[in-house]
Amino acid sequence: MKIGSAAKYVQAGMLKRLLVYGLVIIAAFPPGQVARAQDGQETSATGALTAALVAACRQTEDVFVRYLPGESAVAFLALPSSQRTALMRRMVAVGGEGTPMLTSSADGRAVLRCGSSLGPVEMRFGAERVQGNLAFIAIEIPSARTVEFGLVREGTSWRLLSVGLLLLHVPELARQWTTQEMETREARAIAALHDLAEAVKTYRRAFGALPENLAQLGPAPKEGASPEAASLVDEELAAGKKFGYAFRYRILPGADGAESTFELAASPAEYPTSGRRSFFLDDSGTLRGGDKQGAVATASDARIEDRTARQQPQNRQQP
């Protein structure tokens, strides 16, 4: 085979591999570097960062993880799928899976465009600054901000180290996200208790008695609301399960002919995965509870300051 023919053959093979990844490559990226992209062995920090962001744009976890340092890579794979996706989305500031395209700007700067259903995001690469085993590359997002990515050399390859001032330490991020998600679920459980309490009171005003169970608060058929289906809460709350919590309702007969009261409780459906604290709410609106190892909270538990900014349920059908 002649040298010219061999070169054409090699270039054709390279182009075929690039098209598999759905990339359009412009001269700003050396063909050899791009052909090796996404194998985790790029010898330049810019090449590694480019490949990592392309993988983040496409949300290809098995490729993105190759550009994380050892401990972070292990932690990334251990994350729930939703958190792995969220991390990659944050890297390229898109709301869903995107289509990456590598181009160059008029001033010769490398540009990565990540097109998604919410619109494209353009990232313009700055100059690569290498300091020993560390490298820093500024990425400009027009009309938004400039973020500096840090990379660390592992052997002859580069791995993501930081994004702006945030150290990209996935184990710590995982702990933070777990705590945040736990707090969010607990806040939603408390809000749901308040919604149920309001629904119970509305039911009593409408029908002259307390509902016998949560199911009676649920969605009504097309015939309309009734004591059996008052359409005051959604199907999940009526079934007693929502936001990773199990909800309980109990009627307390009034003493000496007094009006009956009620109490509500919410406990983690899967302790400690779906939540840690259990909650108790009486008909006066007093919130109690704590970490009860998954057990149901009661009126004897410590009072909890209710900081949940809850919203009143919308679009309820009044019976």
pLDDT tens readout for residues 235-292: 999 999 999 999 999 999 987 778 999 999 999 999 988 899 999 999 999 999 999 9
- Which of 19-33, 196-210, 214-228 is least confident? 19-33
Helices 170-207 and 70-78, axial angle in degrees (round to 10): 20
Residue 5 pLDDT greater than 60, yes or no: no
| pLDDT 10s digits, 186-218 | 999 999 999 999 999 999 999 999 999 999 999
Among 67-81, 115-129, 132-146, 206-220, top mean pLDDT goes to 206-220
- Which amino acid appears at position 13 of this protein? G
Nearest alpha carbon to residue 124 among 143, 111, 136? 111
pTM of the model: 0.56
Which residues, at least 6 apart from 178, have a Cβ–Cβ distance to it below 8 Å? none
Residue pointed to by tokens 């992209």? 37
Q: Is residue 226 very low, low, confident or very high in pLDDT (cuts 50, 70, 90)?
A: very high
What pLDDT was estimated at residue 40? 64
pLDDT over 70 at 11, yes or no: no
- Which long-range contacts does 286-292 make (Cβ < 8 Å, 24+ apart)? 287/190, 287/193, 292/267
Mean pLDDT, residues 120-143 = 90
Q: What is the mean pLDDT of residues 153-162?
A: 91
Confidence check: pLDDT of 147 > 60 = yes
The string of pLDDT tens digits covering residues 100-116 is 999 888 888 889 988 87
Q: Where are the domains of the chain?
A: 3-168, 179-291
